[in-house]
Every structure is written in C-alpha cells, then in structure tokens.
Structure 1
Amino acid sequence: MSVATPQAAVRTAVTAQDVVKVYGRGETAVRALAGISIGFAAGEFTAIMGPSGSGKSTLMHCLAGLDTVDAGTIHIGRTEITRLADRELTKLRRDRIGFVFQAFNLLPTLTAEQNILLGLELAGRRPHKAWFDQIIDVLGLRDRLRHKPSELSGGQQQRVACARALIAQPDVVFADEPTGNLDSRSGAEVLDFLRMSVKRLGQTVIMVTHDPVAAAYADRVVLLADGTLAGELRQPTRDSVLAALKHLGA
C-alpha cells in the first residue's frame, strides 16, 4: 500500500501571502499584484508566465526583495523579508538569493572566474572548492575561466552568470527571462543547466519567461493574469503551455 507524503513534509523555499503591489496613485494607480498567495517548494523548478502586464515580473521582483510590497508578506524560508531593514535585506539577497537576468551583467574588466567569485569576495567569503569545481564542470567553463566577457559567446556569458548565481549556494535562484538574449541553441544549454541544478544539485529555481519552450523545462508553470493567479501546470509541455496561454488571451 502506498502512503501519500504529507504536505507539511514538503519544504517551502519561498512563500507569498496576500501580496499587493500598486504603482501610482489615484485614478492613475495600477494594481500590479492583487492579493497573491503562493508557495514555491524547495528543490523545484518553477516558471512564472502570463500575458503582458499580468504581473509576472513584478511578482518575481517582490519575491526576491528587489521591490517592496504594499500589503501582505513574503518569506524566504522562515525569514519574512517584508519586515527587513534595507541593510538586512541587502545581506539576505547577497547570502541567500542568486540572480540570473536577461542581460548578463558581467563586469567587462574581470575574467569569468573573477566575475563568478566577485560576490563572495565582497562578502569576505571564500568559495567552497568542491562546490566551485562541480558548478564549473557541470557548466563546461573549465577552459573559459581566464577569458573576459568580450572573449565569450552569449551562451558562455550566461553560463558564467549562472555560476555566479549558484556559487554562494543560495536558498533560491531567480531567473528573469534568462534566455531572452540568446539563440535557441545557447538558450537550451542554459535551460538544461538550470534544470540540472535542480535535479543534481538540489537547487530551487523560479524563472519568469514568455517562451513556452523555456517553460517546458520547468517542473511547474504558474500562470498569472491581471495581477492574480490564473492556474498552474505540472510537468508542462510546450503544447500544454501554449494552450493555457491561449486560454488566458496571451
């Protein structure tokens, strides 16, 4: 006889409860998030999708502590980030959150290895050598560590950005359109790594994307519309994502 795993046994990496975000005031106010409550399980790859203006990027920015909320709470693990002072929030983002953006955001004067390690050095921390070696080898960057960004392809630069996001062993990695500046082959390499980081390294990844092909790499797709949750897909495929977006009018 099989026994269902209790819901409480699933560790939640990120939680939003009744989150509201409003831009502007009065008649021009835009309610970007309208009371969203959602949790993201640890060790899972989640994609956030929705039509333009649905609130997907706003939600990610609030979850990551890059933007404030007007109401509600957000937790990273057991830490409520919506109550943290700026200095505490900066430290939490540095120590417990990794970021991968559409723009690679690499410093052009530093080598790939220096870019990867910069955050740790600024925090006065040394990298865990075995972890560093594992990330570098999984990403295939061993022979590119001494190259500067201008000497790397777009896909290689984004892989460096992925390594930088993971080097501090964060609780969660947020990826904002990580394949937006890449060709299909390079984009697939980055998505393969993000998926591998979840399956082999136990990482938690939350990605905003407009691309159904990219979303199909995730374990779960969360759908937004008009600042509210509009459903979700488990084990998504390109076709199931396209059908869901069509239903939302995207």
Structure 2
Amino acid sequence: MTENPDGTDEAVTGEAAVRTTDVTRRHGSGENQVLALDRVSISVEAGRFTMIMGPSGSGKSTLMHVLAGLDSPDEGRVFIGRREITEMSDKALTELRRTRTGFVFQSFNLIPTLSVEQNIGLPAQLAGEKVDADWGRTVTERLGIAALLDRKPHELSGGQQQRVAVARALVNRPAVVFADEPTGNLDSVSGAEVMRLLAAAVREYGQTVVMVTHDPGLSVYADRVIILADGRPAADLTDPGPEAVADTLLHLNQDPRDEPLPFREQGAFAR
C-alpha cells in the first residue's frame, strides 16, 4: 500500500477519495437476476461534493453501498483513499467504516435511548476512540444543535434529528461522508438546511461528500453529478445547474420509440 507523505493512506485534495474499477453487482439469481451495476469505473475526487443520480432502478443506491463498503461487488475493485476494500475481511472493513467513513441516511438511524451527545459520539466509542472536544463543539455549534445535547431523539424535530445524523457523520473527520437521500423524510425548509450544512462541510472543512438523490434541484449544491442508467455511468456533469441535470434525466427516461409524431399525423384534425 502506498502512503502519503504524512504517513497516512488518506487521499488528499486532487486525488481520489473513493474509486471503483470494473465493478459489477448482480441481485437475485436465475431468471430473476438483475444486473444492478455493469462494469462501473468511476473516481470521486477528495474535497468535493459529488452527487449520484439516475432513473429508478439505475443502480445509484447500489453504487453508493458498494463505494461505502456496505455491499460487496461480484466483480471489480473498490478503493477508499489508497486502500482497497474489496478483499478486506469483515472485521477490517467494519473498522475502516467506523474510522474512515461517515453515513447520513434518509431514516436518521439514531438510537432512541441515547442522548444527542451520545448518538454523535457513538461511532468514536465503537472504534475505541474519543471525540476531539474542540471539533465536537465546532460541529454541533455549526449545525445548531449545541443546546440539544442532553435531549433524546424523540424530543427533536425531523430536521433536528437529521442534523444530529450529520454531526455523527462528521465528528470523526472521516475520509468520505456518504449520504443516501438525506432529505427524503424532511420538509423543504429542513431539507435545504441539511443540504447547506453538507455543502459547508465540503467548502469550509475540506470534507468529501458522496450523495445519492433523485432530486435534480439539489444539484445546485454539487461540484459534480454522475448520472447512471442501466447500471452504468451515462453522464458526468461538472458544476451543473438543475436544468441541465433535469434535461439529462429526462433524456435518459425517454423511450426512443416515443419520438413525437409529425404534426400532420397527430389527432383527428391533422391535415
């Protein structure tokens, strides 16, 4: 394994924070088998906000789960930083996920019996580490939850619970934060707030965020959008606007047999 000059295997800005080489993933078996990912090779640059989008069934959630080490490919290789995770033992992969990755999901996945502070510190506790107190204060203050640390999840709004989940993902300073539809269960105001916070993690703290979403409007926060179709990258957009993303998705969703008919052939009154 090659190390960086500071002796770590973490990617630096300009390098790949996470990448795949010829990754294939199938679901099911026999006649019911579905090819979710078809020889996918992508590289996600460190210190950037990358979104993965695509039509329903395109493989976007499967790709994120493979990138994060939550699922294993049938073929191909996956790297987080400079470490290949594909051949890791379950124990080594669990340790890497606890120390090198952060997760924000549509369902907040908070432990109901733990306080906000305990939920935020849980990954560090499981990894046998302590949360840096100064950094913990910075994160909770920036997220607006510093006054909520003693509360339990049921005492919080949905937006507050998701901010706790974001804090939990950031507090260990992971190499990559993976977010799977993080605004899916939120109202528009809370969703926009969470997106601003994830974007701030990239812009202000140099974090790497990889996020799956179906909403083209959220692309305003992204540096890059990778669009999948039929399990393969179909478009790769840099600094895209929502209109460009929506147009690309519309094109991918359009059946080529559905080209509009010439006007003279449309309807009973055509001439």
TM range, normalised to the smaller chain? over 0.9
Letter in 2 for 1:174: F
Equivalent position to 1:56, from 21, 43, 60: 60
Residue 28 of structure 1 deviates from its aligned partner by: 2.0
Deviates more, 1:26-35 or 1:82-91: 26-35
Q: Which residue of 1 aligns with 2:7?
A: none
- Alpha-carbon offset, residue 86 of structure 1: 0.5
Higher RCO (CA < 8 A, seq sep 6+): 1
2:211 to 207, 230, 242: 207
Matched, 1:153 2:157: yes
**Structure 1 partner of 2:69:** 65
State the secondary structure of the residue aligned to 1:193: helix
Give the distance between the partners of 1:25 and 1:122, measured in 2 at CA: 36
Q: Is this contact kept in 2: 1:216–1:241, CA < 8 A?
A: no
Q: 1:84 aligns with which of 84, 88, 95?
A: 88
Cα distance in 2 between the residues matched to 1:108 and 1:9: 37
Q: Which residue of 2 aligns with 1:225?
A: 229
Q: Is the 8 A contact 2:13 2:46 kept in 1?
A: no
Task: Give 1:18's match in structure 2, choosing from 22, 33, 39.
Answer: 22
Instruction: State the distance in 2 between where 1:89 and 1:121 align.
Output: 17
* Distance in 2 separating the partners of 1:183 and 1:223: 25
CA shift, 1:88, in A, is: 0.5
- Would you say the 8 A contact 2:13–2:47 is kept in 1? no
Q: Distance in 1 between matches of 2:151 and 2:45?
A: 36
The residue type equivalent to 1:92 in the other structure is: L
Q: Are the counterparts in 2 of residues 102 and 180 from structure 1 also a CA contact under 8 Å? A: yes
| Consecutive unaligned residues in structure 2, runs of 5 or more | 1-11, 255-271
- 2:124: which partner in 1? 120
CA, structure 1 residues 144+187, in 2 after alignment: closer, same or farther (shift >3 Å)?
A: same
> 1:9: Cα distance to partner?
7.7
Indicate the RMSD between aligned Cα atoms, in angstroms. 1.3
Distance 1:145 1:237 in 2: 37
Number of aligned residue pairs: 243
Partner amino acid, structure 1, of 2:135: W
User: Given residue 53 of structure 2, which amino acid in structure 1 is its aligned partner?
Assistant: M
Unaligned runs of 5+ in 1: 1-7
Aligned-partner SS, 1:19: strand
* 1:175 and 2:190 matched: no
Give the TM-score, by structure 1 length: 0.95
Shift in alpha-carbon separation, 1:209–1:9, aligned structure 2, 3 A: closer
Task: State the 4+ residue runs in structure 1 displaced beyond 6 angstroms.
Answer: none
Letter in 2 for 1:135: V
Instruction: Give the match for residue 239 of structure 1.
Output: 243
Higher CA-based Rg: 2
TM-score normalised per structure 2: 0.87
Counterpart residue type for residue 48 of structure 2: E
Write the distance in 2 (CA, Å) between the matches of 1:10 and 1:93: 22
Per-residue CA deviations over 1:128-153 (Å, capped at 9, x if unaligned) read 11211111111011111111111111
SS of equivalent residue, structure 2 residue 23: strand
